[in-house]
Structure 1
Amino acid sequence: MACSNRDFRIGLLVPAGNTTFEPDFISAFSSQISIHAHRVIAKRSYPYESHESMDDINEEAVKEVEKLARARVHFGAYGFTTATFYRGRVFAEQLEQRLTQVLGVPTVVPSLALLEALAFLKVKKISVVTPYPQWNNETLKMFLNDTPYEIVAFKGDERPKEVAKKNYFWHQSPDEAAAFIKEASHIGADAVVLPCTAWRTFEVIEELEADLNIPVVTANQATIWSLARRASIEYALRPRGTLFTKGNGELGIGKDFLFPPTLL
């Protein structure tokens, strides 16, 4: 697929307080791809994330994505991992279909992209590290337990939710996130899984892989990779970590892949 400069548009539906999803997308692609974002927020205010708050924001997401369609984007992505795994895989698939239908073009959701990436890497055992408090972690475990992947280690925010609320771990700097992840046990794991699109882990993938010696898969990385793969715009994707650089030809990017001069 060949496009002239900035001829391919990606539409992002982003939770209002998330300031990480867009920068990660922008840094992942060459200038041939333009990124267009629309923010979404729940109608009501909730003290903590819950099934009710996720239901609320997802309904708003389905409504708001219609506005993003006005940008005539070619592909879309929804930047909220918890809101796509909290009711299980079937729900995630149904939500992805609803967003796709309203946007009018294929839309990727992070939780399914993570599973797609793990399958691509032929992973069997995973170590999961999250910035989430208890409720998010419990629902994530339920989601992952319904997949072929064995969780050999799981680390999240163990502080009481009242304490966590004052400074959620997904607000960590990349260095702080990397230190938190390195402190966890990854013994026996084939890959490390880092959910949460607001957590700045995309920026430290190479550092983590060099330290841990196994692939690292983040929510934003998997979403970007899945979208590029489905949209056949891998020619504009800047390699980042094993997932992007695995040289089996399936994605079209190997460790010796060179961008055409016009993309640099």
Structure 2
Amino acid sequence: MTALGFLYPGHSAEDDYPRIEQLLGSDVRLDLVHTDIGEDAHSVDALRELGSPERLTAGVGQLRTSGAEAVVWACAGGSFVHGWEGAHEQVRALARAAGLPASSTAFAFVYAAKELGVRRVAVGTTYPDDVAALFADFLRAGGVEPAVVRASGEVGARGRDEVFALARSVDGPDIEAVLLPDTALHTAAHIPALEKELGKPVLTANQVAVWEALRLADRKVNAPDLGALFTREPLVQVG
């Protein structure tokens, strides 16, 4: 059994994780610890506070006792708002506190795009413009080109129809993959249908967070129901 730990901010789309665990269909356990979110907003200042060391380390003890082999800060915005170097320092501090390999959803998007061999992507977000721009900068720093970025500014979870509409709104013939970076979006049940409709890989926050934890634990799981990312051979070396 491989146990993987996730620090998840608040409560929104955490039910994606038991669904993903079921879809993995293997001896993998996903353990979530909910972190305090403070101000529930997508402002830059609120997101920086969301990923503060105090909030992250508060949940680390629970993950250690769960037997987790790796830990992922399951939040994109609470990572990329610190910039490329700041986000690296954030996960280094998390790794030291946990005594485990660590990463974040923001880095997971970059590494997943590299795993798929895609560079020119479209991003559909529920962030305001300034936060979406920071995610675009983060992707560029990691060698991924966000050719289209849509910032709707609509904070909070959305239903299936809204998720599909968001993905369609940023897609185009020259786009190699579509990225949906909000962990508050319920997407685990929709990835194959999204990829079939768009004809390309779709990367979503909770999906890539799990893939990243598996990568850190050196596990490869074939799970077509989780999209193209989970049907690739074998793991590439990214850092």
Query: TM-score, structure 2 length as denominator?
Result: 0.86
Matches within 5 A, 1:142-153: 142-153=137-148
Q: Alpha-carbon deviation of 1:31?
A: 5.5
Q: Any idea what SS the aligned residue of 1:234 has?
A: coil
Cα gap change, 1:147 to 1:233, in 2 (>3 Å): closer
User: Aligned partner of 1:251: which letter?
Assistant: L
Residue identity opposite 1:198 in structure 2:
A
Q: Against the structure 1 CA distance between its residues 32 and 185, is the aligned structure 2 distance closer, same or farther, given a 3 Å change threshold?
A: closer
Any conservation in 2 of the 1:192–1:215 contact (CA below 8 Å)? Answer: yes
Query: Counterpart of 1:202 in 2: which secondary structure?
Result: coil
Indicate conservation of the 8 Å contact 1:12/1:22, yes or no.
no
CA contact (8 A) 1:174 1:203 kept: no
**2:2 counterpart of 1:8:** yes
Residues 1:176 and 2:172 are matched in the alignment? no
- CA–CA distance in 2 between the matches of 1:94 and 1:189? 31
- Deviations along 1:164-220, one digit per CA (max 9) or x if unpaired, are 4xxx3x411123211222233423111111111221223211111111112111122
| Identity fraction in percent | 23
CA contact (8 A) 1:87 1:143 kept: no
User: Take 2:179 and 2:40, find their aligned partners in 1: how far apart are those partners?
Assistant: 27
Higher relative contact order (CA 8 A, sep 6+): 2
Partner of 1:140: 135
Note if 1:157 corresponds to 2:152. Answer: yes
Alignment size in residue pairs: 232
TM-score w.r.t. the length of structure 1 is 0.78
CA displacement 1:212-262 (0-9 Å, x = unmatched): 112111122222222223313324x5332111113xx3239xxxxxxxxxx
The 1:176/1:125 distance shift into structure 2, 3 A limit, reads same
Long gaps (5+) in structure 1: 1-6, 159-163, 253-264
Q: 1:227 to 1:50 in 2, by over 3 A?
A: same
User: Displacement of 1:102 after TM fit?
Assistant: 1.1
2:43 paired with 1:57: no
Q: Could you say what the CA RMSD is over the residues aligned between the two structures, in angstroms?
A: 2.3
Is there any run of 5+ residues in structure 2 with no aligned partner, and where? none
CA drift of 1:127 comes to 1.0
Alignment partner of 1:18 is 2:4: no
Corresponding residue to 2:223 among 228, 235, 238: 238
Other-structure match for 1:35: 30
Give yes or no for contact 1:178–1:201 (8 Å, CA) kept in 2: no
Distance 2:46 2:61 in 1: 21
Q: Given the superposition, is the C-alpha separation of residues 100 and 47 from structure 1 closer, same or farther in structure 2, using an over 3 Å criterion? A: closer
Bigger radius of gyration, 1 or 2?
1
Paired AA for residue 172 in structure 2: H
Q: Is the 8 A contact 1:24 1:220 kept in 2?
A: no
- Provide the C-alpha distance between the structure 2 equivalents of 1:31 and 1:143, rounded to a whole number of angstroms: 33
Offset of residue 67 of structure 1: 3.2
